[in-house]
Structure 1
């Protein structure tokens, strides 16, 4: 969206005109423009209705080195499209990618004559100013606090210029922003000269809030942007001279035992570190402060592993099936995914009734699930909600799961205690997802009041985003003639509907006082942020995701009855006496 606006501005036109437009999930601004900016997910959905992309004469895929799931799927499909449409021009753009791999992938030349190559490498010299890189002498105990301390030192001692801080996720970004804002307030009170204005930047931040990072700071202030790796390549923020790199990134890794993606905080790769450092040399010479040792930097991996080999592939298989790809094992990926991951994906989709025994999409459920830009487990829950008579509540819960967090976490002692007390007002023994439902209902009853959010330590920006997502999902359900009904006060019906999609993510409380997955017996623990963490542990739960830090933690839990698993997924579970309660 920001790129479309910038290009429109430079060309002296509006985004809503017929020259520049954009299309992203849950938002679109276009009238058949000549230049259209879109996310990879939107392009993939367009391929479903127009398999040969006949409405386009040129496609440019940027930041390919990030190697997202969508990127690899699109490149595989584009290889097939170009064979049918040799006149179509495809541009693969990246600053750090091994270009030869991509050239060989798209090259259809079967002869030894390089003149017959169907792909070429074009190199453009980057406009990069010198960048000084500094390392810490000893490893830091907490990179969030170290990032904050480094910003304070830069602001007090270094020349003018804005600061960009890289952290791993939304929660860490907001924690650092709170700490820096406290410091900024102290500077204001003490009438110091070196004042700062602190801004967050992450993927789920509303667009109007993201725009603030591109504006110049007021006279006498230094801009400090605290961002996730979305600022690594996706956007260029003007005025950045100093970069603080925590040295870590949050990535998903698929666990074949739990059949789930685990969020893992891991060291960045050398290519990612180079991308982050490059942010400091765009305007003039800059400085990079890496919060890890030089010896540690030398041991980093050369590049980030592509998502295709480390992600849950249920959505990939579902989308490829919707596009008529019969044999997924023979589909041309740049980096073929593990066969075991593909097998597991097909097993889960079959259990969800999205594909049949012949690995073909079911009608209408499988085709409808493919239309949603959601995890197939969530789309199955949405499409089942009409049968259970609780689509209003399920729409809310699934929408709440599309944002990273709705609860604010003050870093100060008293603020943290007050936030915990207020959160308890919404908590219920049925689990986190029903708690989210209470939070949203309270927000709506307050007429979407910002004061309500401030009082209850709820992220107002995230709640506004949830409302937007919910409206879009409800519109899609109505298109499929799913009745929009409410379960009123029956949480049992809502929880049973959740089990209809989340049944692969079931766990039970073992006699050793730890949870184990029903299939695989993998040990799991309740995440400290869960409402179930401080109450008596329930016997059976389903969870939405697993976070891997010191242990495998379940997040976003719902308390269930074990009989529901047999009732709603008899093809996936069977009763046995061997489970040790």
Structure 2
């Protein structure tokens, strides 16, 4: 490739449907963007960071998060275009079908005339027909099961599935599925306004640029100086680590934090007042449960107390967090309090980012990081103390660590385990560890008057707005905290409160402040600022305000009664974010927010009957409602042969376990007996989804390791394509330059290769509408994966431009997510029959649809889309995914299919029986050897032992035992 900075990859022809339904070639050479190409703003960069740090620890995609979604909620235009294209394709299909039928009729007539006249023989014509038929390949889908999943084996004590809601027919469950009516109306109104604005505005369009219509200064307008600065940066050397970009001081905070020193703030915390008693209990016990409200200081102070007491001399003091952003922010705070550089005495570690050193004594990390460390160090010897923070959230990895620690603590009597929790679930943790003592950090709480709604509330957003206005105009001073489910609900609530407040005559002043995890940190910090005199604050938040942060001055709480929960959808084979009723424990925690600084009131937008009959007592642990493929693979790698023997605090359902084991078996990670294979052992070394791990391993066999490690790295970061609202057409044109029409995976490879060839320049990224930060992060991940592959002694091989090899390798990791083209733009998942469509951002979207594809993930809006897609040969699916598919041969009937499946199952049963016979034979041989050894020992010489002054009877001395 050329080293010229203006290089762009070869442009591929894109075919679009015109009004008649016919495809038309697009211009081969798109115009290069001018110097006014918008640069990604600070907010865009912060959004990428939030997507990265707030994401799942293993990097899996979840319906409802936008990590790999390049268009966010802006789907309407694409869906409208898609509907028009489908309509045109249907018209074209009907026209083509009629024309094809006429051609067939003509061919049949001509064939008949040729046969009658004797010009041609029937066998010749039949051969021609056979050749035509041979070009079409059909796959048969088999329902094969390994013998260890024959339904007779029990893997868990929880045999029945755990539903996400207590009663699916209850009022709250029905209302949560329907959603809020006012939110839907607001969404439609925004779309109408956007379309009207686009219809009347020429800014940013090709015609507008031609006529000299200039862009208004806005968030997406690029400062040319900024582009020049990007070009002048040391290319490829910029770090993406959170620690390298932190500001010395927080971007906001309360008046208390601004007027007090860090040491004065420490001494004010409730945990500091009980330090001596707390350390005494820790010294006297190996396991202790620490109970404290949010804001008590248990997260930041416990590690410092242990360090000051000298526990750091015997090993590191580790503290696990369920979320990445918490691990980093808490480590930053503790480093500031101890006046040390982050990464020295105090550090953090998350997936693909390690900010520690040899000097590190206090280490904050995600629970997933500690779990992976236990693979290489089963006893965690480098730690003297482990703090399991926020254990009440019952995150998946937290529950696995809980079970592992029961065995580790038996082997390491010197290890201290401290489990911290909010008031909920503390007794359960104590009982799990054999009655471990619990220590309560006293909080400053006041009585809260809780009020239920008289009748079921159908639209919780509309009712919350009414309740806020009622409180504001008729009740005493005091700030309001409203609990909502997510960003869209929060934004609509804030807009409606302000709109209805403006309609009142001279209403009291109200400061409306939203907060959710995707909001920039400086805007989040505003909720801690004191309001002006005579102004009441109304904070609208997700469940982040339940336990993760504390806001002083809250006197009124409005609880909608819902939250977003990650739930495994077996039909789609993925985790989804669903709006579900909260638990009784969550409701109590929310109400308690009103009693932190004085007596308060809590308004619950559900009835008391619903509270008692429709809400679970506790939130369902994540381990009972999510996909467990990674977890099962991890446990198998840790030597847990029988999952029934593992000590789960709450065992996962049988169906979830069997589904996960089936997926691992299909990938080759488990053998026909449910035991870990060599491939599975290698897969567990990579901190990512099993499918991606398999891609890296099989790439060595196919000779494309160099290319595959790049593709996997690009799949592990937020979206690399930048699409500003004012330059969407230009951005799409630049994006198409990178397209490889057979594969989105290869498109990512094309982007990375071009970026690398252009010196990893930020300026080049901006010109081609790419996020430089995402590409730099992909490079860092690639380097870490390269280290893991070297540790596994895997060769780095390149296939050059033989991209069919890469596509076949991709098929080897995704054959369980294959789909067949049905027509009219729709594909059908081969295994589940789920109807899906190509995502508009796919390189395959506008071209001729291939018959068979494999995909990386699903995206759910008004439809189910497949994203990051690769076209595959059906023979590859049959060869690599033989447990699922086979090529349908001519004359192959459904009876033959049943015979094939019966023979497979019979073979599996014979293999299982042979394995059982071998195991029984080995046990019998071992028992016989033990008996022979005992007989030889008993027939040994007898020694007489005589002590002075008395004659003793002979004592037969044997090894380890006296007779």
Q: Secondary structure at the match of 1:395?
A: helix
The CA distance in 1 between the partners of 2:541 and 2:764, in whole Å, is 27
Q: How far is the alpha carbon of 1:274 from its aligned partner?
A: 7.4
Change (3 A) 1:211 1:86: farther
**8 Å contact from structure 1 (residues 267, 300) kept in 2:** no
Q: 1:210 to 1:503 in 2, by over 3 A?
A: farther
| CA displacement at 1:379 relative to structure 2 | 0.5
In the alignment, is the contact (CA less than 8 A) between 1:213 and 1:237 conserved in 2? no
- Find 2:577's aligned residue among 257, 264, 268: 264
More helix by share: 2
Counterpart position of 2:439: 122
Q: CA deviation at 1:349?
A: 2.0
Equivalent of 1:319, from 634, 642, 645?
634
Render the CA deviation track for 1:62-88: whole Å, top value 9, x for unaligned.
122332221111111112223334553
Equivalent position of 1:559 in the other structure: 871
How many Å apart are 1:57 and its aligned residue?
A: 3.1
Would you say 1:376 and 2:690 are equivalent positions? yes
Distance 1:15 1:131, change over 3 A: farther
Count of aligned positions: 529
Q: 1 or 2 for the larger relative contact order (CA 8 Å, sep ≥6)?
A: 2
Q: In the aligned structure 2, how far is the partner of 1:521 from the partner of 1:257?
A: 9
Match of 2:358 among 27, 31, 49: 31
Q: How far, CA to CA, are the matches of 2:750 and 2:343 in structure 1?
A: 38
Name structure 2 gaps, 5 residues minimum: 1-327, 496-509, 533-537, 895-963
- Aligned pairs for 1:9-20 (under 5 A) are 9-18=336-345, 20=346
Partner Cα distance (1:513, 1:471) in 2: 38
User: Structure 1 residue 322: deviation in Å?
Assistant: 1.2
Match of 2:419 among 82, 92, 95: 92
Instruction: Specify whether residues 83 and 383 from structure 1 end up closer, same or farther in structure 2 by C-alpha distance, changes over 3 A only.
Output: same
- Asked whether the 8 Å contact 1:426–1:439 carries over to 2, the reply is yes
Q: Is the 8 A contact 2:557 2:602 kept in 1?
A: yes
1:93 aligned counterpart, secondary structure = strand
Separation (CA, whole Å) in 1 of partners of 2:592 and 2:776:
34
Partner of residue 75, structure 1: 402
The worse-fitting range, judged by mean Cα deviation, of 482-491 and 280-289 is 280-289
Task: Summarize deviations over 1:145-170 as a string: whole Å, max 9, x none.
Answer: x99xx9xxx9xxxx9x9x9998858x
Compared CA separation, residues 141 and 104, structure 1 to 2 (3 A): closer
Q: Aligned-pair distance for 1:378?
A: 0.6
Q: Aligned partners of 2:603, 2:781: CA distance in 1, in Å?
A: 38
Contact 2:825-2:837 at 8 Å conserved across structures: no
CA deviation string 1:342-375 (max 9, x = no partner): 2222222223222323333223x32221111111
Q: Does 1:482 align with 2:799?
A: no
Over aligned residues, Cα RMSD in angstroms? 4.8
| 1:58 equivalenced with 2:385 (yes/no) | yes
Counterpart in the other structure of 1:183: none
Residue 320 of structure 2 is aligned to residue 6 of structure 1: no
Which position in structure 1 is the counterpart of 2:773? 461
5 Å-filtered alignment, 1:414-453, equals 414-453=726-765
The secondary structure found in structure 1 opposite 2:440 is coil
Paired residues for 1:376-395 under 5 Å: 376-395=690-709
Matches within 5 A, 1:59-208: 59-95=386-422, 97-107=424-434, 118-127=435-444, 139=459
What SS is found at the alignment partner of 1:123?
Answer: strand
Q: 1:480 to 1:212 in 2, by over 3 A?
A: farther
Contact 1:167 1:226 in 2 (8 A): no
Q: 1:559, CA displacement in angstroms?
A: 1.5
SS at match of 2:436: coil
Evaluate the alpha carbon distance shift between residue 251 and residue 385 of structure 1 in structure 2; reply closer, same or farther with a 3 A threshold: farther
The correspondence of residues 477-556 of structure 1 with structure 2, limited to 5 A, is 477-510=789-822, 514-556=826-868
Supply the distance in 1 between the matched residues of 2:751 and 2:557 (Cα, whole angstroms).
37
Asked if structure 1 preserves the Cα contact closer than 8 Å seen for 2:557 and 2:603, the reply is yes
Partner in structure 2 of residue 44 of structure 1: 371
After superposition, the Cα gap between the structure-2 partners of 1:535 and 1:228, relative to the gap in structure 1 and judged at 3 Å, is farther
* Residue 347 in structure 1 maps to residue 674 in structure 2: no
Q: Does the CA-based 8 Å contact 2:446-2:599 persist in structure 1?
A: yes
CA offsets 1:188-229 (integer angstroms, 9 cap, x no match): xxxxxx999999955xx9xxx9799779999x99xx999987
User: Structure 1 residues 31 and 505, CA, compared in 2 at 3 Å: closer, same or farther?
Assistant: same
Report the CA distance between 1:34 and its aligned residue. Answer: 3.4
Instruction: Name whichever of 337-346 and 437-446 sits farther off.
Output: 437-446
| Higher radius of gyration, 1 or 2 | 2
How far the C-alpha of 1:316 sits from its partner, in A, is 0.9
> Do the aligned partners of 2:561 and 2:606 also contact (CA within 8 Å) in 1?
no
8 Å CA contact 1:252, 1:261 repeated in 2: no
Q: Deviations over 1:500-528 (max 9, x none)?
A: 11111111123686422222333333344
CA distance in 2, matches of 1:61, 1:261: 28
- Report if aligned partners of 1:133, 1:289 keep a CA contact under 8 Å in 2: yes
Query: Does residue 336 in structure 1 map to residue 651 in structure 2?
Result: yes
